[in-house]
């Protein structure tokens, strides 16, 4: 889920930014601090929306920087269990696939790619034995988050595509076509039975 988070914190502004207006210096420093920042509580920071308020600066002896009590807004993405996500397959391995979710990456174990026996082929694709479905690099997919695991500060996201309405977009479109055909056939049979 995407969130806007309001934060109040002391921002350490480095001396190289002292020539700028204070609010601009704080904004530049915040961009540097949060460019690849992840926190268990707030999520993955995508960017700084705005600096709302900058208080008076404080200088600590022995540190050349200035600290400003500031209020600012961040745009963050915090993955939630059971959340649906869209992404592109970035890598295929013998144990599954890695999907680029835009902000982060998630992993789909080979057993969670489709409702079929899946094998890893020599062409770096995953192949369904009975369905003949193929999953390859750059395929657009919809998946569900089923596991979130922190190891240290890094987050690992586990995904599945083994539920109705999930998988490669081509598979989903094909399932919709089959459902429409089945519904029309059933409707026709019901009409004939009433006669």
Tell me what the pLDDT averaged over the chain comes to: 92
Terminal CA-CA length for the chain: 52
7: nearest Cα among 95, 97, 96, 72: 72
Residue 183 in any domain: the answer is: no
CA pair distance 173, 177, nearest whole angstrom: 6
Sign of CA dihedral 46, 50, 53, 58: positive
Q: Quick one: tokens of 176?
A: 């919709």
Residues 90 and 166 in one domain: yes
Residues 61 and 103 in one domain: no
CA pair distance 18, 139, nearest whole angstrom: 47
Eight-state DSSP code of residue 172? H
Rama region for 64: left / alpha / beta (φ>0; ψ in -120 to 50; rest) = alpha
Domain that holds residue 66: 2-77
Q: What are the tens digits of pLDDT across the range 9-24? A: 999 999 999 999 999 9
44: nearest Cα among 3, 92, 97: 3
Residue 100 in any domain: the answer is: yes
Residues 100 and 167 in one domain: yes
Residues 96 and 165 in one domain: yes
Residues 12 and 43 in one domain: yes
Confidence at residue 192, expressed as pLDDT on a 0 to 100 scale: 83
The domain total for the chain is 2
Alpha helices in the chain (DSSP H): 22-33, 169-194
pLDDT of residue 190 exceeding 90: no
Residues 32 and 103 in one domain: no
Residue 87 burial by CB count (10 A; 0-12/13-18/19+): exposed, middle or buried? buried
pLDDT of residue 31 exceeding 90: yes
Residue 104 in any domain: the answer is: yes
Residues 65 and 25 in one domain: yes
Residues 73 and 88 in one domain: no
Rama region for 180: left / alpha / beta (φ>0; ψ in -120 to 50; rest) = alpha
Residue 135 in any domain: the answer is: yes
Q: Which domain-ending residue is among 77, 104, 129?
A: 77
Q: What are the tens digits of pLDDT across the range 92-107? A: 999 999 999 998 999 9
CATH of the domain at 67: 3.30.1490.120
Confidence at residue 151, expressed as pLDDT on a 0 to 100 scale: 82
Residues 120 and 41 in one domain: no
Residues 69 and 93 in one domain: no
| SS3 state at 94 | coil
Give the global pTM: 0.79
Residues 94 and 48 in one domain: no
CATH of the domain at 152: 2.40.50.140
Confidence at residue 130, expressed as pLDDT on a 0 to 100 scale: 92
Q: Quick one: tokens of 61?
A: 């002896």
Confidence at residue 153, expressed as pLDDT on a 0 to 100 scale: 72
pLDDT of residue 74 exceeding 90: yes
pLDDT of residue 36 exceeding 90: no
27: nearest Cα among 71, 59, 64: 71
């Amino acid at each position: 889920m995407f969130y806007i988070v309001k934060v109040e914190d002391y921002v350490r502004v480095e001396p190289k930014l002292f020539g700028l207006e204070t609010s601009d210096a704080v904004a530049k420093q915040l961009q540097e601090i949060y460019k690849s920042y992840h926190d268990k509580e707030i999520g993955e920071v995508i960017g700084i929306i705005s600096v709302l308020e900058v208080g008076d600066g404080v200088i600590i002896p022995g540190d050349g920087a200035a600290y400003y009590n500031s209020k600012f807004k961040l745009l963050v993405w915090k993955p939630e269990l059971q959340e649906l996500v869209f992404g592109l397959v970035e890598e295929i391995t013998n144990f599954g696939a890695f999907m680029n979710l835009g902000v982060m990456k998630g992993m789909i174990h080979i057993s969670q790619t489709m409702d079929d026996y899946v094998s890893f082929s020599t062409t770096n694709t995953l192949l369904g034995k009975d369905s003949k479905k193929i999953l390859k690099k750059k395929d657009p997919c919809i998946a569900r988050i089923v596991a979130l695991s922190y190891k240290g500060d890094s987050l690992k996201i586990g995904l599945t595509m083994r539920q109705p309405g999930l998988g490669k977009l081509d598979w989903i479109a094909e399932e919709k076509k089959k459902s429409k055909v089945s519904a029309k056939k059933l409707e026709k049979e019901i009409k004939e039975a009433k006669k």
